[in-house]
Amino acid sequence: MTELADIGVTGLATMGANLARNAAHKGFRVALHNRTNEKTRKLVAEYGAEGAFIASEKLNDFVASLAKPRVVLIMVKAGKPVDDVIEELLNHLEAGDIIVDGGNSLFEDTRRREAFLSQKHINFVGMGVSGGEEGALEGPSMMPGGTRKAWERIAPMMTKMAAQVDGTPCCALMGPDGAGHYVKMVHNGIEYADMQLITEAYDLLRTVYDCSASEIAEIFAGWKSGDLDSYLIEITATVLAKRDPQGKGALIDQIRDEAEQKGTGRWTAQSALELGVPITAITEAVFARALSGRPSQRQAAEAALGGLRQAGEKRSAGRTEIDKIRDALYASKIIAYAQGFEQLAVASKTYGWDLDLGQIATIWRGGCIIRARFLDRIRESTAAHPDAQSLLLADYFRDAVLKAEASWRDVVVLAVQSGIAVPAFASSLAYYDGLRRARGPANLLQGLRDYFGAHTYRRVDADGSFHIRWSQDGTEIAG
């Protein structure tokens, strides 16, 4: 009799196929299934020799080929397809089996599925996977959420399949139910902000200064050897240096300026609004993509309102100007990450997940799209200041933003004067300035709210709520 498989993967598009191959490369016996058979056949034909695969055309055969308690990794399109697959699997699985959803599912769906499946004594793990096609094959960052018992069963496989940094796997149990998918969602939100910031730095160098795409590629390549060292900075240099295969100069100039999105950035912003966490950089990045996706409106506006506001010749960028943009990028990036980590902390309390922020920084150091040297600093800072109310209050980040602050302001002023939109740079700076004010201007908001809605206000010199009888005698009464 054929030996049973250690893990089964159903859904063999880009991510599922590569994760299945990854598991096989690590010595696990992998059962394969896809709704339609072509993908399964193709995978076996092209890569069947890479490891021990057991392919099945029917779901019942696929489930029967798994060792108990069975581990089924679902890698299908997020949303209804996941529910469809779960429903079908339930006809074949038994108590104690484990379903892992490795797609980009909404954490609320994961919470719902976990509650439903636990009633049926099936363990459900919602696992965020980051790293794209290459990461899935070579070693992604994986963020599972579920019960400890289910984690213990899958951990030997997942920790081997994950990227490794300094001998530590980029995979750890995040917490129960939706915790893993939530962490992955915020990862993607931070990725949106990081990419938007990079795009704004590129725009300034390209549009305000007279830098060519290849010159900017070199500038980004240079930044890789400093604090900004990251995968996204590295691939920015590569993309900007790429020549058009159709022979029309830099490829970047032939790519339409309309960004697409699949929804995880928007979900991050929606959740932050629900939780009341100010994540300005991520939200502005989502809006910037939305604005980019309205080309005809932008063309009409440029014709009606005029484009750039630059006076005279383009400037040339020397070392000082380039360094200032680098500093603005770094400071804004610190804000984006501080905001993302604050969102994780608030969600953790709200949903009772007990997220370990240092551990999250640790598993994001490799395999995923936002992997960066910077995450080591976050890991160290959360360990040194476990109770800090913001990453910005940890010594390293406080010193880094203070050092960059003057350049950051200069760059935002330059952008504003030039008519260049830098929503993530500027909103990060606005957040920083708002955060630094122990007493801000919201006293006026409260006064106005009390005037039109009798919403009351609190005084700086007394406890309790108060209200002014605005339309009567103007006296103050306890609210």
Question: Catalytic residues, which ones?
Answer: 184, 191
- The 3-state DSSP class for residue 316 equals coil
Query: In this chain, which stretch among 77-85, 90-98, 229-237, 280-288 interacts with ligand NBP, using CB under 6 A?
Result: 77-85
**Contact assessment for residue 457 and residue 314, using Cβ atoms and an 8 Å cutoff:** no
Q: Are strands 30-33 and 98-101 parallel, antiparallel or unpaired?
A: unpaired
**DSSP-derived pairing of the beta strands 457-458 and 465-468:** antiparallel
Residue 235 amino acid letter: I
Q: Which is nearer to ligand NBP, 105 or 348 (CB)?
A: 105
76 binds ligand NBP (CB under 6 A): yes
- List phi, psi (to 5°) of 243: -90, 150
Q: At closest approach, how far in Å is the CB of 81 from ligand NBP?
A: 3
263 binds ligand NBP (CB under 6 A): no
Q: How far is the CB of 161 from ligand NBP (least distance, A)?
A: 14
Spatial distance between the Cα atoms of 330 and 374, rounded to a whole number of angstroms: 10
DSSP sequence for 161-213: HS-EETTEESB---BSTTHHHHHHHHHHHHHHHHHHHHHHHHHIIIIIB---H
User: What's the min distance (Å) between Cβ of 242 and ligand NBP?
Assistant: 20
The binding track of 84-123 with respect to ligand NBP, each residue x by CB under 6 A or -, is xx-----------------xx-------------------
Q: Which two tokens stand for residue 248?
A: 């029309």
* Among 328, 316, 296, CA closest to 410: 328
Question: For residues 12-41, which are near ligand NBP according to CB under 6 A?
Answer: 12-16, 34-36, 39
Alpha helices, H only, 65-147 = 80-90, 107-119, 132-138
Cβ proximity to ligand NBP, 16 vs 178, nearer residue: 16
Compare residues 136 and 394 and give the one whose CB is closer to ligand NBP. Answer: 136
- Smallest gap from Cβ 129 to ligand NBP, in A, equals 5
Residue closer to ligand NBP by CB (options 81, 358) is: 81
In terms of Cβ atoms closer than 10 Å to its own Cβ (0-12, 13-18, 19+), residue 255 is: exposed
At 339, list the tokens: 């905001």
Cα distance between residue 410 and residue 59, in whole Å: 61
Minimum CB distance to ligand NBP smaller for 122 or for 143: 143
Minimum CB separation from ligand NBP for residue 321, in Å? 36
Compute the least distance from the CB of residue 343 to ligand NBP, in Å. 20
Cα 100 to chain centroid distance, Å, stands at: 20
Question: Residues in contact with ligand NBP, total (CB under 6 A)?
Answer: 22
State how beta strands 476-478 and 465-468 pair.
Answer: antiparallel
Nearer residue to ligand NBP within complex by CB, 141 or 339 = 141
Q: Distance between CA atoms of 294 and 299, rounded to whole angstroms?
A: 9
Q: How far apart are CA 4 and CA 71, in angstroms?
A: 12
| C-beta closer to ligand NBP: residue 65 or 104 | 104
Rounded to 10 degrees, what is the CA torsion of 190, 236, 12, 39? 150
Binding segment (CB under 6 A) for ligand NBP, from list 69-77, 166-174, 203-211, 432-440: 69-77
Tell me the two tokens of residue 432.
Answer: 């920083």
Please, which of residues 122-141 interact with ligand NBP by CB under 6 A?
Answer: 129, 132-133
Stretch that binds ligand NBP, among 76-84, 149-157, 212-220, 226-234 (CB under 6 A): 76-84
Select the residue whose beta carbon is closest to ligand NBP and give its number.
103
Consecutive H or E run containing 265: helix 264-275
Is 81 a binder of ligand NBP (CB under 6 A)? yes
102 versus 176: smaller Cβ distance to ligand NBP = 102
**Restricting to residues 204-223, which ones interact with ligand NBP according to CB under 6 A?**
none
Check residue 56 for interaction with ligand NBP (CB under 6 A).
no
> Minimum distance from CB of 56 to ligand NBP (Å)?
14
Binding stretches for ligand NBP (CB under 6 A): 11-16, 34-36, 39, 75-78, 81, 84-85, 103-104, 129, 132-133
